[in-house]
């Protein structure tokens, strides 16, 4: 597998993305639309994982800046805030994230014909690609946003080996839509 940093998802034909997203609701169309209207402090691009010029996996990625103080509390936050007043740059850390700030769903797509071992190899290549993009833009932190439970079984060990830890996010509320007007 090889990776390519794509300026935008449309650098690869829609049909290739739709094949790897394999029926997902949030797919090429959704993420391409999001690329057109990024939040003010964000820049979007994508990573594609290829085998013989065929897209085998991919995901949108984003670049922004992050203030670590937003996830701290108690005495650690007090110490951090004190240091941040002397060294303001620590409150403005450049990051590259795999995923989309517009989504609460997993954004990594894999060709459905890949075996579990091949998905693991593609994921390793994707993480190496993310690290390469981060190094090229001077990001000091990488993250994988909304990896999702569907990857935990087979990807957990590889993600942990790459230095990633699982953090629980805020719950997402859902509302079931009745099947008919009567319901």
State pLDDT tens for residues 124-181: 999 999 999 999 999 988 888 877 666 767 777 778 888 877 766 666 677 888 888 8
Residue 102 has pLDDT above 70, yes or no: yes
Q: How many CA atoms lie within 13 A of 87 on its CB side?
A: 5
E strand or H helix that includes residue 94: strand 93-98
**pLDDT band at residue 118 using 50, 70 and 90 as cut-offs:** very high
Which pLDDT belongs to residue 168?
67
Q: Where are the alpha helices (DSSP H) in the chain?
A: 14-21, 28-36, 74-86, 116-137, 149-161
Using a cut of 0.85, tell me whether the model's pTM lies above it: no
User: Is 68 in a helix, a strand, or coil?
Assistant: helix
Burial of 3: CB neighbours in 10 Å, binned 0-12, 13-18, 19+? buried
User: Is 155 in a helix, a strand, or coil?
Assistant: helix
CA dist 140 and 7 (Å) reads: 20
Which pLDDT belongs to residue 63?
94
CB 13 within 8 A of CB 58: no
Residue 95 has pLDDT above 80, yes or no: yes
Which pLDDT belongs to residue 132?
94
Q: pLDDT by residue (tens digit) across 3-39?
A: 999 999 999 999 999 999 888 888 899 899 888 888 8
Angle (CA) 145-148-151 rounded to 5° is 115
CB 46 within 8 A of CB 60: yes
């Amino acid at each position: 597998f090889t990776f390519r940093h794509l300026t935008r998802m449309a650098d690869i034909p829609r049909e290739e993305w739709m094949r790897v997203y394999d029926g997902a609701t949030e797919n090429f169309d959704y993420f391409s639309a999001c690329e057109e209207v990024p939040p003010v402090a964000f820049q979007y691009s994508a990573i594609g994982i290829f085998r013989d010029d065929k897209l085998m996996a991919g995901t949108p990625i984003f670049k922004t800046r992050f203030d670590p103080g937003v996830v701290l509390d108690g005495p650690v936050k007090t110490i951090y805030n004190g240091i941040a007043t002397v060294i303001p740059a620590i409150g403005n850390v450049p990051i590259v994230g795999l995923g989309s700030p517009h989504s609460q769903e997993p954004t990594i797509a894999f060709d459905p014909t890949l075996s579990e071992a091949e998905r693991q190899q593609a994921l390793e290549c994707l993480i190496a690609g993310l690290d390469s993009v981060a190094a090229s833009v001077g990001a000091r932190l990488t993250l994988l946003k909304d990896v999702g439970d569907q990857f935990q079984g087979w990807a957990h060990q590889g993600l942990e080996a790459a230095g990633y830890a699982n953090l629980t996010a805020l719950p997402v509320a859902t509302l079931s839509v009745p099947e008919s007007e009567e319901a």
